[in-house]
Amino acid sequence: MASSSSSSSPAAKRNGGYRNWAELPPELTSSILIRISPIEILQNAQKVCRSWRRVCIDPSMWRKIDLRNLDGLVYDLETMCRHAVDLSQGGLLEINIDDYTTTSLLTYIADRSSDLRSLGFVECGPVMSRGVIEAVMKLSMLEELQISYESIREQDLKLVGQSCPNLRTLKLYCMDNSEYCCDKVALAIAETMPGLRHLWLFRNGLSDTGLNAILECCPNLNVLDLHKCSNITLVGNMGN
Cβ neighbors of 23 (< 8 A, separation 6 or more) are 51
CA 107 to chain centroid: 14
Residue 31: inside a domain, yes or no? no
Residue 39: inside a domain, yes or no? no
Cα gap 79→185, rounded to integer Å? 34
- For the chain, what percent of residues have pLDDT higher than 70? 76
pLDDT value, residue 183: 86
For residues 151 and 175, is the Cβ–Cβ distance under 8 A? no
Residue 3: inside a domain, yes or no? no
| Residue range 148-201, pLDDT digits in tens | 876 677 888 899 999 999 999 999 887 665 555 688 889 999 999 999 999 998
* HSE (side-chain half, CA atoms, 13 Å) at 29: 23
- Amino acid in position 163: S
| Residue range 31-64, pLDDT digits in tens | 777 788 888 888 888 888 888 888 889 999 999 9
Cβ neighbors of 15 (< 8 A, separation 6 or more) are none
Q: Report the number of distinct structural domains present in the chain.
A: 1
CATH number for the domain spanning 141: value is 3.80.10.10
DSSP states of 15-53 as a string?
A: TTEEEEGGGS-HHHHHHHHTTS-HHHHHHTGGGS-HHHH
- pTM (two decimals): 0.79
> Starting from the edge strand earliest in sequence, which strands make up the sheet with 198-202, in order?
64-66, 94-96, 118-120, 144-149, 169-174, 198-202, 223-227
* Residue ranges making up the domain that contains 117: 63-239
Residue 30: inside a domain, yes or no? no
